């Protein structure tokens, strides 16, 4: 997509889009405009304020911080943040290392693997399941359900996205009942206990938060791991640099987030009033999205943006968003990414793609940027 972005940035950086249903929208591709928009309170996330709640059956998936505005946003994020602390995340390091090593040990018996299926997918989903306290054996179900929601198609003949969502909600309902009977030390137990102690997360909000964490907790990190490996393989001198300087892993990950971020577009915002924004006239109800990857390739913000260079320092990329909705899980994603990539390269220093780069199949849908499979020869 990058040549298209580059043309848009130059010729029409706040590009007007008309959707088939008549909805008016805008696509923002420059860094400066994107960052300004993400911080501008005149653009809101809760579209029910403008259009009423037209997606009732999906509303459990939108009763969360990502689709809320102040003051609800502050309350919802605050309650989640209480359980999702930096200390809790730092405390996961040992366990993330252990899971990574187990997955690598299983791969070691083979000559060729699919990196996504055998490594990049299971690692973050096992981690988020353990944090939440849901059985990680059910991870294939979560994968099916969240892929369905993200890609807008169930991927199974005769099964609708709505059916998958219903199954997901039923699963969570049964799980919450089990936890209520026997709470543990996990995040869901903490939220449920807090709720019973008079805190304010309603039942619907609990569904909203847990489904958001399951979906956000793995759809993105899978692609962070996959895209980083692809960028390193396509740039062997950078891989060599990293091998010689393993402490550069933090920078390498930040560069991968900038260069090929797992989240293509911000989630939608809506203009809450008629207004002028960066010289364009917006009307109340207009939909707007920021292409995070286009912003992250803006030559006015990044020197030589089309070059993958792990030596960049302090990269102010937008891969985790900006403003009040800045990714809650960024510390966890960074920790998982660093451990995963370092250990993978340590264990298999001679990785190579088992297919031509152009044969890689990118995932459908507008939200995530990542490939379906990464066949690798590992020894
Ligand atoms: C929000 C990216 C991993 C939880 C966001 C947003 C982005 C993002 C761009 C803001 C969307 C917007 O403003 O429209 C990423 C990337 C990840 C990642 C690139 C991995 C590389 C995670 C993980 C978790 C998580 C591991 C949790 C376990 C969340 C939550 C929000 C969020 C809860 C909503 C925050 C709010 O609305 O206040 N993420 N994310 N993310 N992310 Fe992440």
All structural domains of the chain, each given as residue ranges with its CATH number in brackets, are 2-377 (1.10.630.10)
pLDDT on residue 363: 82
Q: Tell me: the pLDDT tens digits for 271-320?
A: 999 999 999 999 999 999 999 999 999 999 999 999 999 999 889 999 99
pLDDT on residue 159: 83
Residue 374 Cβ < 6 Å to ligand 1? no
Pocket test for ligand 1, best of 133, 216, 291 (most atoms within 8 A of CB): 216
Strand order in the sheet with 352-353: 112-114, 375-377, 352-353
Report the alpha-carbon distance of residue 376 to residue 111 in Å, rounded.
Answer: 8
> Rounded to whole angstroms, what are the CA distances from 131 to 124, 177, 195, 214, 318?
10, 18, 18, 10, 26
Intervals of the chain under pLDDT 50: none
Report the alpha-carbon distance of residue 41 to residue 43 in Å, rounded.
Answer: 5
Residue 214 Cβ < 6 Å to ligand 1? no
DSSP collapsed to 3 states, the chain: CHHHHHHHHHHCCEEEEECCCCCEEEEECCHHHHHHHHHCCCEECCCHHHHCCCCHHHHHHCCCHHHCCCCHHHHHHHHHHHHCCHHHHHCCHHHHHHHHHHHHHHHCCCCEEEHHHHHHCHHHHHHHHHHHCCCHHHHHHHHHHHHHHHHCCCCCCCCCHHHHHHHHHHHHHHHHHHHHHCCCCCHHHHHHHHHHCCCCCCHHHHHHHHHHHHHHHHHHHHHHHHHHHHHHHHCHHHHHHHHHCHHHHHHHHHHHHHHCCCECECCCEEECCCEEECCEEECCCCEEEEEHHHHCCCCCCCCCCCCCCCCCCCCCCCCCCCHHHCCCCHHHHHHHHHHHHHHHHHHCCCCEECCCHHHCCECCCCCECCECCCEEECC
* Helices 139-151 and 203-234, axial angle in degrees (round to 10): 90
247 CA to middle of ligand 1, Å?
25
Q: Which tokens go with 36?
A: 């300004």
Residue 263 Cβ < 6 Å to ligand 1? yes
pLDDT on residue 272: 95
Report the alpha-carbon distance of residue 345 to residue 246 in Å, rounded.
Answer: 10
Residue 65 Cβ < 6 Å to ligand 1? yes
Ligand 1, atom 25, lies closest to the CA of 329
Nearest atom (ligand 1) to Cα of 209: 33
Percent pLDDT > 90 in the chain is 68
Nearest atom (ligand 1) to Cα of 322: 13
- DSSP assignment of 193-217 equals HHHHTT----HHHHHHHHHHHHHHH
Which positions ≥6 away from 220 have C-beta within 8 Å? 262, 263, 329, 333, 368
Q: Tell me: the pLDDT tens digits for 81-122?
A: 987 889 999 999 999 999 999 999 999 999 999 999 999 999
Residue in the structure block whose two tokens are 């849901």: 134
Residue 262 Cβ < 6 Å to ligand 1? yes
105 CA to middle of ligand 1, Å?
30
What are the start-end ranges of the H helices in 235-360? Answer: 236-244, 249-259, 292-295, 330-347
Ligand 1, atom 21, lies closest to the CA of 221
**DSSP element (H, E) containing 17:** strand 14-18
Residue 329 Cβ < 6 Å to ligand 1? yes
């Amino acid at each position: 997509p990058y040549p298209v972005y580059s043309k848009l940035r130059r010729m029409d950086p706040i590009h007007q889009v008309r959707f088939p249903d008549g909805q008016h929208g805008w696509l923002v591709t420059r860094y400066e405009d994107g960052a300004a928009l993400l911080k501008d309170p005149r653009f809101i996330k809760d579209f029910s304020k403008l259009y009423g709640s037209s997606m009732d059956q999906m509303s459990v998936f939108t009763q969360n911080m990502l689709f809320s505005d102040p003051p609800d946003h502050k309350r919802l994020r605050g309650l989640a943040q209480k359980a999702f602390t930096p200390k809790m995340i730092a405390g996961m390091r040992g366990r993330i290392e252990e899971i990574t090593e187990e997955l690598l040990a299983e791969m070691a018996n083979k000559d060729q693997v699919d990196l996504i299926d055998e490594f990049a997918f299971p690692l973050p989903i096992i981690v988020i399941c353990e944090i939440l306290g849901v059985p990680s054996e059910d991870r294939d179900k979560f994968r099916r359900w969240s892929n369905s929601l993200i890609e807008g198609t169930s991927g199974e003949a005769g099964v609708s996205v709505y059916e998958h969502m219903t199954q997901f909600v039923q699963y969570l309902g049964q799980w919450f009942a089990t936890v209520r009977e026997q709470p543990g030390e996990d995040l869901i137990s903490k939220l449920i206990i807090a709720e019973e102690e008079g805190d304010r997360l309603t039942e619907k909000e609990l569904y909203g938060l847990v489904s958001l964490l399951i979906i956000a907790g793995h759809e993105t990190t899978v692609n962070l791991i996959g895209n980083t490996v692809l960028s390193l393989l396509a740039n062997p001198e950078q891989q060599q640099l990293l091998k010689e300087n393993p402490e550069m892993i933090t920078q390498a990950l930040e560069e991968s987030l900038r260069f090929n971020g797992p989240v293509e577009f911000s989630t939608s915002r809506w203009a809450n009033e008629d207004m002028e924004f960066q010289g364009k006239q917006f009307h109340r109800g207009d939909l707007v999205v920021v292409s995070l990857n286009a912003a992250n390739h803006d030559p006015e913000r990044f020197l030589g943006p089309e070059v993958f260079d792990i030596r960049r320092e302090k990269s102010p990329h937008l891969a985790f968003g900006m403003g009040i909705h800045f990714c809650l899980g960024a510390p966890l994603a960074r920790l998982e990414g660093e451990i995963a990539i370092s250990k993978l390269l340590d264990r298999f220093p001679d990785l190579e793609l088992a297919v031509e780069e152009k044969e890689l199949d990118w995932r459908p849908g507008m939200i995530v940027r990542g490939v379906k499979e990464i066949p690798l020869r590992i020894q």
